[in-house]
Amino acid sequence: MAPAAERRTGLGKGLGALIPQTSPAGAAPVEIPISHIKRNPYQPRQHVEQQALEQLAASIAVHGVLQPVLVTETLDGYQLVAGERRVRAAQIAGLDRVPAIVRQMAAKDQLAIAIVENIQRADLNAMEEAHAYRQLADEFNLTQDEIATSVGRARSTVANTLRLLDLEPAVQQALSNGDITEGHARALIGTPAVVQLQLLDGIVARRLSVRRTEELVRRLPDKQASSAKPAAPVDGEMEGLEEDLRRALGTKVSVARSRKGGRIVIEYYSDEDFSRLFDRLTGGNA
């Protein structure tokens, strides 16, 4: 097995690190039959708007496919890495071939590129992005820092997006469908399941704003809000201390104050992450 540093080559530098900017042997775009291209199994986007696809197809019918898609070669053809919308639109436009750059790459690199491409085009909804980050963590054992580097996001953004996976399935579905916004969903994180569902019904039926939703969460009885966000906003000094802890530990840290003290919640996302945090907190003296 290759060393960890070697296995991560290419991550963290965006599409430019994985798609050649010059044309060395084997890297120049070539025309390949669409029928020989299989869908990317690591494609994080689950839904493509038909109207947008048809608009792209109309443009391709006139101008052709201006940007090559990215594929990796397989035993019986090619597997798409980036450019699914272009391939589908080219089919609608009646093309039977598309320009492509052929590269061999690891599965984690294929997923990272698919995420980056969709993020750059704002094609992923929040839940698709969260599931893609979780896949990078679970299947490829990447830490939050490595995920953030590989997709060009701040680590705090990755951590906050992953927290959406803690929401009730009905809330996640509503967010995916566009019935609520990411701001609504974040306001519900940490509240009990029954409260999430009750508030979800109210948000959708009454078209509540994010601010109004946050107010409702803050007004929950102490018993219901015990696992939710702090009732009062964290002041500037405490927010700065939270950020210092996040940087020191390299993971999501939440500080919640109460009348008699408070609590510090340190999150981890794998056994490897737990071991790293344990060593950091104990100085490696178990």
Domains of the chain: 27-123 (3.90.1530.30)
Catalytic residue, chosen from 6, 73, 84, 168, is: 84
pLDDT tens for 20-79 read: 333 334 467 888 888 888 887 766 666 666 777 788 788 888 888 878 888 888 888 888
**Does this model's pTM top 0.75?**
no
pLDDT at residue number 45: 66
Average pLDDT of the residues of the chain = 75
182 is catalytic: no
pLDDT at residue number 2: 41
**Which amino acid, 132?**
A
Q: pLDDT class for 5, splitting at 50, 70, 90?
A: very low
More confident site: 24 or 86: 86
Q: Looking at the predicted structure, is the pLDDT value of residue 224 above 60?
A: no
Q: pLDDT class for 221, splitting at 50, 70, 90?
A: confident
pLDDT at residue number 172: 92
More confident site: 4 or 281: 281
Radius of gyration of the chain measured on its C-alpha atoms: 22
Calculate what percentage of the chain has a pLDDT beyond 90.
9
More confident site: 230 or 237: 237
pLDDT tens for 160-177 read: 889 999 999 999 999 988
Residue with tokens 């995420």: 115
Q: Looking at the predicted structure, is the pLDDT value of residue 13 above 80?
A: no
Calculate what percentage of the chain has a pLDDT beyond 70.
76
Q: Say if strands 261-266 and 253-258 run parallel, antiparallel, or are unpaired.
A: antiparallel
Average pLDDT over residues 115-140: 75
What is the DSSP secondary-structure string of 142-174? --HHHHHHHHT--HHHHHHHHGGGGS-HHHHHH
More confident site: 29 or 2: 29
Residue with tokens 């490897």: 272
Average pLDDT over residues 233-257: 69
Q: Looking at the predicted structure, is the pLDDT value of residue 207 above 80?
A: yes
Looking at the chain, list the stretches that DSSP marks H as alpha helix, in order from N- to C-terminal side.
4-7, 15-18, 50-63, 84-92, 107-120, 126-140, 144-151, 155-162, 169-177, 182-188, 193-206, 210-218, 222-225, 236-249, 271-282
What distances in angstroms separate CA 57 from CA 10, 39, 86, 94, 100, one per listed residue? 32, 18, 8, 9, 17
Structure tokens of 262?
């408070």
